[in-house]
Each structure stands twice: as C-alpha cells, then as structure tokens.
C-alpha cells in the first residue's frame, strides 16, 4: 500500500490541470479545496469543487430520480499540495515531533515557516 502526503480533511492547492486557477475579483488565483476522500492504492484524491464531472444516473427504484448529476472526480495526489494558512500558499511539509505528557508524537510542519499544519 502506498503512502500519501495528503489526508482526508486537509486543505490543498491544485498545482496543475484545468482546475489550477480560478477567477476572483478579475484576478487569477490558485484554486483551493478540502479533501473529501483519498485512494492510496491509486494515488488519487477527491477535492471539493475540483474536477467536477457530469454523471448520468438511471432511476433504480420507483420514486428515484434519473438525470444528470454533477460530482467531483478523482485527481492524482501529485497534482495537489498542502495549503499553509500562515504562508497563504501551497507548501512542502516536513515531519516534526511534539512532546505531550512525555510522549513524542509526529506532527506535520510547514517547510517554510515551521509552524504546525
């Protein structure tokens, strides 16, 4: 099983692809979003509001609605980077250790500012 640098619930910045930039106040800014799900076997993540695809659904039971549903598709984890709120951009991470009650626990730190993410 592969290990991803992104976990479910992280806020990420999209680095490449069609959803890399979005317009905000007549400026192009990097698109950010929250990770909904990860798939370590495929090396992919599903990010909220990124790679939105149209799915055609068929009514399976009486009362179900058929039609076209918009949903997020998976993108490769190498195309996203963890977002640091202190630096206000995507950053690399490094592993640090924090001591709480005499036990050392692993913590992800920003490689630029050194603060906990």
For the segment 70-90, what is each residue's pLDDT rounded down to a tens digit?
A: 999 999 999 999 999 998 888
- Its pTM stands at 0.82
In degrees, to the nearest 5, what angle opens at C-alpha 110 toward C-alphas 116 and 9?
Answer: 65
| In contact, 44 and 74? CB cutoff 8 Å | yes
- Indicate the domain borders of the chain: 11-57+69-86
Q: Give 5-58 pLDDT, tens digit per residue.
A: 899 999 999 998 888 887 777 788 888 999 999 999 999 999 999 999 999 999
102 torsion bin: left (phi>0), alpha (psi -120 to 50), beta (else): left
């Amino acid at each position: 099983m592969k290990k991803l640098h992104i976990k479910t619930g992280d806020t990420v910045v999209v680095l490449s692809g069609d959803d890399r930039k979005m317009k905000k106040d007549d400026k192009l800014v990097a698109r950010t979003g929250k990770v909904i799900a990860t798939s370590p076997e495929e090396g992919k993540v599903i990010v909220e509001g990124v790679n939105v695809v149209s799915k055609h659904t068929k009514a399976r039971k009486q009362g179900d609605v058929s039609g076209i549903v918009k949903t997020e598709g998976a993108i490769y984890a190498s195309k996203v980077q963890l977002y640091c709120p202190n630096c206000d951009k995507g950053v690399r991470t490094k592993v640090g250790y924090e001591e709480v009650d005499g036990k050392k626990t692993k913590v992800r730190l920003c490689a630029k500012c050194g603060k906990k993410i």
